[in-house]
Amino acid sequence: MARRPFIAGNWKMNLDHLQAIALVQKLAWTMKDAGYDPKGVEVAVFPPFTDLRSVQTLIAADRFPLALGAQDVSPHEAGAHTGDVSAAMLAKLDARYVIIGHSERRADHREDDALVGAKVHAALQHGLVPVLCVGETAEDLERHGASAVPVGQLKAALEGVSADAELVVAYEPVWAIGSGTPATAETAQEVGAALRRALAETLGEDAAERTRILYGGSVKSGNIAGFLRMPDVDGALVGGASLDPAEFAAIARFEKHVGV
Ligand code: 13P
């Protein structure tokens, strides 16, 4: 089964809603000029909560071929949870994806595997596709190698998830995020393959075969093609480089600038 490559831009806590509108317009025009074909690769943006409505309106009005995602979701349905945003609210905004378990949330907000798992359930319940982030710190890498921690995080988050659930897994080594030093394509492949085996063990072979596994951590237009050449890397979760429309569009064009 062919998995459609997925290029996802995580803006993190950057850009207010006016800046977001400007960036998405520029991105859509750049992609159009470059002959972007949504059949070949899916492109999504993940703006902060305050930008989602503006970006959604723009995408819908101008029919931009961009999917929309949020950066976090509450594990709760509704009610007395000040500051939280529910999966139902995101679904109503036509968000298709939601990032869950990003290492910055695991660190800044002490999110553990149980909370990450609860958020995955909340997202799935409302038809959102979780982009489940897993990855090891530099210390984990030294102690356990690259795969052990991400595989453990994946298995924990998937407890009780049904075999037909649609999700995306993002392997993001914590030491590679924002450091300018990405993992090698070989390491991304090794961990991607281990994550796919873990998907097969938890959700079954079909789910393992269809689920897209992304690499994230210092992805740029100059290194994307090497990752996408790997059989178990189906796309990228891009941070810093997604804030530059020309650079992000170049990443989305990975098939054109280097033969894969
Ligand atoms: P950078 O691309 O800035 O390293 O960030 C990666 C990331 O954390 C995406 O979620």
Task: Give the per-residue pLDDT at 256.
Answer: 76
Q: What is the pLDDT of residue 1?
A: 61
HSE toward the beta carbon, residue 226, CA cutoff 13 A: 14
Q: Tokens 């988050």 identify what position?
A: 157
Q: Tell me, what's the pLDDT at 142?
A: 96
10 CB less than 6 Å from ligand 1?
yes
Beta strands in 77-210 (DSSP E): 97-100, 129-134, 168-171
The DSSP line for 222-237 is TTHHHHHTSTT--EEE
User: H or E segment at 120?
Assistant: helix 113-125
- Locate the ligand 1 atom nearest the alpha carbon of residue 237 and give its number: 9
Helices marked H in 126-177: 138-144, 148-157
CA atoms within 13 A on the CB side of 195: 34
The pLDDT value recorded for residue 260 is: 44
Q: What interhelical angle do 49-62 and 17-33 show, nearest 10?
A: 40
Pocket of ligand 1 contains residue 223 by CB under 6 Å: no
Neighbours of 122 (CB within 10 A): 22
Regarding the beta carbon of 237 and ligand 1, being less than 6 Å apart is answered yes
Residue from 6, 11, 12, 248 whose mutation best tests the ligand 1 pocket (most atoms within 8 A of CB): 12
Cα–Cα dist 190/176, whole Å? 16
| pLDDT number for residue 243 | 98
All domains of the chain in start order, with CATH: 6-258 (3.20.20.70)
**b (16+ CB within 10 A) / e for 162-178:** eeebebbbbbbbbbbbe
* Token pair belonging to 25: 């317009």
Q: Within the chain, which residues score under 70 in pLDDT?
A: 1, 257-260
pLDDT of the residue at 257: 61
Alpha-carbon distance 219 to 141, whole Å?
A: 19
pTM greater than the 0.95 cutoff: yes
